Amino acid sequence: MALLQISEPGLSTLPHQHRLAVGIDLGTTNSLVATVRNGISVVLNDENGRAMLPSVVRYLADGSVAVGEAAQAMQSEDAANTIVSVKRFMGRGLKDVGEISRLPYRFADAPPTGTGQGSGMLQLRTVAGVKSPVEVSAEILKVLRNRAEAALGGELVGAVITVPAYFDDAQRQATKDAARLAGLNVLRLLNEPTAAAIAYGLDNAAEGIYAVYDLGGGTFDISILRLSRGVFEVLAANGDSALGGDDFDQRIHCWLLEKNHLSALGPQDTRLLLTHARAAKEQLTEHAETRITAALSTGEVIDNVLTRSEFHTLSQNLVQRTLQPLRRALRDAKLEVADIKGVVMVGGATRMPQVQHAVEEFFGQTPLTNLDPDKVVALGAAIQANLLAGNRSGDEWLLLDVIPLSLGIETMGGLAEKIIPRNSTIPTARAQEFTTYKDGQTAMSIHVVQGERELVSDCRSLAKFELRGIPAMVAGAARIRVTFQVDADGLLNVSAREMGSGVEAAIAVKPSYGLSDGEITRMLQESTQHAQDDMHARALREQQTEAGQLLEAVQHALEQDGGLLSQAERTLIETQMGLLRDTLQLADHLAIKRAATALNDATVSFAQARMDKSVAHVLTGKKIAELGEK
Amino acid sequence: MAITLTENAAKHVENFIAKRGKGVGLRIGVRTSGCSGMAYKLEFADELASDDLQFVSHGVTVLVDPKSLSYIDGMELDYTREGLNEGFKFNNPNVKNQCGCGESFGV
């Protein structure tokens, strides 16, 4: 018979209607799946008792696919068809991935999507055909899904999948697509540091600011989170995408080469020594010293003793390298070390005592380490999944997430108008009204951008679409309501509607490639560094736009009613127009403003004359009485 | 009249309640639903109801409402592992038939 789990009071499920939900940590190096069973979040192991599934996918010529250890074992033999660290490619175009030539894959750029959204995600040519990073990730998710369904004895109602805090819309959408492809219903995408904080139950704690220090196999991330009213807000994210536990193995490997006076080894011996180096690193977490013995293919035998203090010296600068992003993150968040209420350790490499000591010293407090750092993200995701699936009573917390970078549209003059500010809680919807810029304008191009800067050229372009069929009206008369809607996963829908006629256009933003974590932190930093420049740039663009409109209006008036002017008046106006046109070229908004004011002043009597003329025109042939009725 | 837990089941329940941080015991019951008429209810109990019947088995308090008891009297609750799956198993002497998966039953 079926095996039952204990439910929360009053929440027993009906037969065959178990709300089975899992949390998935889809990692760069390893992936895990966890669930809440009998009220406790647990990681689900495979049939060999292993929790971690290496995030490696190998495509074979017969069309079959190997995932995990089996694929990892063939990594060097069949490098071109064995995809490792596919997470780095999610939602990215070829030009976003800098180190293409150093990777063993055959890349292909995707054909343009045809919707003007850029050139699409990169693709990988394998022996089984061209695969997108979404498909590769889906293979990993499928294995985890099968494992979960076998362990839970039923179909899953959904999953919470974690993503790095710096993932942009494109990378989040790609992750969601991969889940759908794997047959998973995504309940929510959750930021990894937020998941770790949930696993430690920080969301139930009092409000405060927490740091999440995540040193994984190949990447380092530091996030500063603020918890207030059950909402985790990412105040700052920083890191080093090329620093992780593997670098510590590398240091021991180099030490072994040096000790034994070995020069460059073949790939097989290199792998052998790296495996021993890794084992030694893990030994030194528990023991003061470890002995490394290995027989190389050349017949040479290695036998060395490495002490913990030697290892600490070897790896000292690696540990130090994590502190730099830490300081930057604190500076971005405008916080002092003393503001941090707790520190959460994530990632297997944080088991190393020297890492824990360095973090403890930096923050002046003992970091939280009692949960398994490899599992903590998946455990937190499972808790969130359990809640979203309806297995907890309603009065308990419902965690919300926030938008990492502001969303807005381009307005005249290349300015970015923010519609949803950064750190708004999601889901959310905001609307703003815009109008036409020119007389008789019947279409409006809507350019959706993401970023903190004032100029569109400094922000990230997400999508473009057009609202057509606006009835011809004078400039400024049309009312176009632009609505931004962000769902619980941080994915964006934009719609535009002309309020008079009801014409409408909408787009689901599926940008085809994303920002790198470096770029996103750079964009955030720049927005503060360039605040002054941006303000100036905004003022300049605004003046330029206004002056352009003024010039156009005066020109139009001259063409229509130029006859009302004396030659002298006309010359004065034309001179002022010329002056204004000249200042438009200068990057000085005050000069433009002065010239525009001068032109305005020069046209006062002209405007008066035009007004009189049109009033006279209206009044012609009408009786006083008729006017009185109006 | 009694409901019992195997030692293994009791150990797991104690552990789950300890990790959950609250709870006075385990509530077991039945309700009418499912393809074979009845379905088990297995929940953490945070408080006693006035008509609850209480059993203590290997140190674990089991609460049952009087209406349910007639369907599950003499039952033993076990905790087992089947492949990757693990959980509680009901050995109910009153069951005459059950659906394929055993989640619902008739008496």
Helix axes A531-561, A567-584, angle to 10 degrees: 150
pLDDT at A212 over 90: yes
Domain with B44, as residue range(s), is 4-95
Determine, yes or no, domain membership for B11.
Answer: yes
Average pLDDT for residues A26-48, to the nearest whole number? 92
Cα(A20)–Cα(A591) distance, integer angstroms: 66
Determine, yes or no, domain membership for B85.
Answer: yes
Among A564-568, A584-588, B31-35, the range of highest mean pLDDT = A564-568
**What's the Cα-to-Cα distance from B37 to each of A2, A11, A406, A439, A440, rounded to whole Å?**
16, 19, 54, 72, 71
The amino acid at residue A346 is V
> Predicted confidence band at A287 (pLDDT cuts at 50, 70, 90)?
very high
CA angle A32, A33, A38 (to 5 degrees): 140
The DSSP letter of residue A368 is B
The β-bridge relationship of strands A106-109 and A407-411 is unpaired
Dump pLDDT digits (tens) for B60-88: 999 998 888 888 888 899 998 887 788 89
- To the query of whether residue A214 is one of the catalytic residues in this protein, the response is yes
Tokens of A563: 């006859």
Dump pLDDT digits (tens) for A100-113: 677 888 888 665 44
Residue pair A454/A532 in contact by the 8 Å Cβ criterion: no
What local confidence, expressed as pLDDT, does residue A111 receive? 55
Cα(A38)–Cα(A604) distance, integer angstroms: 80
Residue pair A156/A184 in contact by the 8 Å Cβ criterion: yes
Give the 3-state secondary structure of A155-195. Answer: CCCEEEEEECCCCCHHHHHHHHHHHHHCCCCEEEEEEHHHH
Determine, yes or no, domain membership for B57.
Answer: yes
The amino acid at residue A479 is R
Q: What is the mean pLDDT of chain A?
A: 84
Dump pLDDT digits (tens) for A462-500: 888 888 888 888 888 888 899 998 876 667 888 899 888
Q: What is the CATH number of the domain that holds B56?
A: 2.60.300.12
**How many percent of chain B have pLDDT more than 70?**
85
User: CB–CB of B19 and A5 under 8 A?
Assistant: no
CA dihedral B64, B70, B75, B80 (to 10 degrees): -70
Residue pair A456/A416 in contact by the 8 Å Cβ criterion: yes
User: CB–CB of A5 and B42 under 8 A?
Assistant: yes
A40-54, A254-268, A385-399, range with the lowest pLDDT: A385-399
- To the query of whether residue A25 is one of the catalytic residues in this protein, the response is yes
Cα(A152)–Cα(B87) distance, integer angstroms: 9
Give the bridge partners for A106, in sequence order.
A125
Token pair 């490619």 in the structure block, residue = A89
CB within 8 A of A174, min separation 6: which ones? A90, A91, A121, A133, A134, A137, A514
Residue pair A510/A173 in contact by the 8 Å Cβ criterion: yes
User: CB–CB of B104 and A38 under 8 A?
Assistant: no
What local confidence, expressed as pLDDT, does residue A441 receive? 87
User: CB–CB of A1 and B13 under 8 A?
Assistant: no
Residue pair A209/A341 in contact by the 8 Å Cβ criterion: yes
Determine, yes or no, domain membership for B105.
Answer: no
User: CB–CB of A147 and B84 under 8 A?
Assistant: yes
> Predicted confidence band at B99 (pLDDT cuts at 50, 70, 90)?
low
What local confidence, expressed as pLDDT, does residue A630 receive? 40
* Selected catalytic residue, list A78, A168, A192, A458: A192
Determine, yes or no, domain membership for B72.
Answer: yes
Dump pLDDT digits (tens) for A268-279: 888 888 889 999
- To the query of whether residue A533 is one of the catalytic residues in this protein, the response is no
pLDDT at A224 over 80: yes
What local confidence, expressed as pLDDT, does residue A524 receive? 59
What local confidence, expressed as pLDDT, does residue B34 receive? 52
> Predicted confidence band at A525 (pLDDT cuts at 50, 70, 90)?
low
Determine, yes or no, domain membership for B106.
Answer: no
Determine, yes or no, domain membership for B65.
Answer: yes
**What's the Cα-to-Cα distance from A244 to each of A28, A89, B28, B64, rounded to whole Å?**
11, 18, 49, 53
> Is some CB atom of chain A closer than 8 A to the CB atom of B46?
yes
pLDDT at A32 over 50: yes
Q: If we measure between CA atoms, which residue out of A492, A283, A339 comes closest to residue A405?
A: A492
Q: If we measure between CA atoms, which residue out of A176, A111, A132, A25 comes closest to residue A492?
A: A176
Determine, yes or no, domain membership for B100.
Answer: no
Domains of chain A: 1-199+375-394 (3.30.420.40), 245-316 (3.90.640.10), 403-526 (2.60.34.10), 532-619 (1.20.1270.10)
- The helix/strand count (H/E) of chain B reads as 2, 9
Task: Domain count for chain B, please give it.
Answer: 1
pLDDT at A548 over 70: yes
Q: If we measure between CA atoms, which residue out of A565, A576, A568 comes closest to residue A607?
A: A565
CB within 8 A of A101, min separation 6: which ones? none
Give the bridge partners for B104, in sequence order.
B39
Largest CA distance in chain A: 117
The DSSP letter of residue B83 is T
Mutate to test the interface with A, among B84, B97, B101 (most CBs of A within 10 A): B84
**DSSP structure string for A433-501:** EE--SSTT---EEEEEEESSSSBGGGSEEEEEEEE--PPP--TTT--EEEEEEE-TTS-EEEEEEETTT
Q: Is A217 buried (19+), middle (13-18) or exposed (0-12) by CB count in 10 A?
A: buried
Give the 3-state secondary structure of A53-111. Answer: EECEEEECCCCCEEECHHHHHCCCCCHHHEEECHHHHCCCCHHHCCCHHHCCCEEEECC
Largest CA distance in chain B: 40
- To the query of whether residue A176 is one of the catalytic residues in this protein, the response is no
User: CB–CB of A14 and B102 under 8 A?
Assistant: no
Give the bridge partners for A579, in sequence order.
none
Find chain A residues with C-beta within 8 A of B99's C-beta: 15
pLDDT at A506 over 90: no
CB within 8 A of A28, min separation 6: which ones? A55, A85, A87, A88, A216, A217, A218, A219
Residue pair A106/A453 in contact by the 8 Å Cβ criterion: no
* Selected catalytic residue, list A139, A169, A177, A214: A214
Contact pairs from chain A to chain B, CB under 8 Å? 93
Q: CA of A199, closest CA in chain B: separation in Å?
A: 13
First to last CA, chain A: 86
Phi, psi of A327 (to 5 degrees): -65, -40
> Is some CB atom of chain A closer than 8 A to the CB atom of B19?
yes
Find chain A residues with C-beta within 8 A of B16's C-beta: 6, 38-40
